[in-house]
Amino acid sequence: MVPIDILAEDMFRVVSECAGKRNLKPGDLTKEMIAKHGAEACTKDNCRQAIRLLIDSGRCIYSYLGGSYIQLPPKEDAGPLP
């Protein structure tokens, strides 16, 4: 079995690579992880736990654009203070 934290890191890498290019649904990430690690080493439940870890840690957020997508949180505006 692939540890949940490793799955979360792999998912974060995929979300980072797709940022601004493509919106990923939770199912897209799950399918990609199962394809990468194999169905016997990576289950849907493991993927769900890894997604929850990313969301709870604040590294990723859910956005709703006619469906539920996982994205990177918006960057803080580092402009000058008024």
Does residue 38 lie in a domain region?
yes
Q: Is 20 a member of any domain? A: yes
Contact by Cβ (8 Å): 54, 62: no
CATH number of 21's domain:
1.10.10.10
> Is 76 inside a domain boundary?
no
What's this model's pTM, rounded to 2 decimal places? 0.86
Structural domains of the chain, count:
1
Residue 77 lies in a domain: no
Quote the pLDDT of residue 74.
85
CA gap 22, 45 in Å, rounded: 24
* Domain-located, residue 17: yes
pLDDT tens by residue, the chain, 82 residues: 899 999 999 999 999 999 889 999 999 999 999 999 999 999 999 999 999 999 999 999 999 988 899 999 987 655 454 5
Provide the residue range defining the domain that includes 26.
Answer: 4-71
Residue 37: inside a domain: yes
Please tell me the distance from the alpha carbon of residue 31 to that of residue 19, in angstroms, as a whole number.
Answer: 18
Residue 78 lies in a domain: no
State the DSSP string of 27-74: HHHHHHHHHHH-TTT--HHHHHHHHHHHHHHTSSEEEESSSEEEEPPP
Q: How confident is the model over 12-32, as pLDDT tens digits?
A: 999 999 988 999 999 999 999
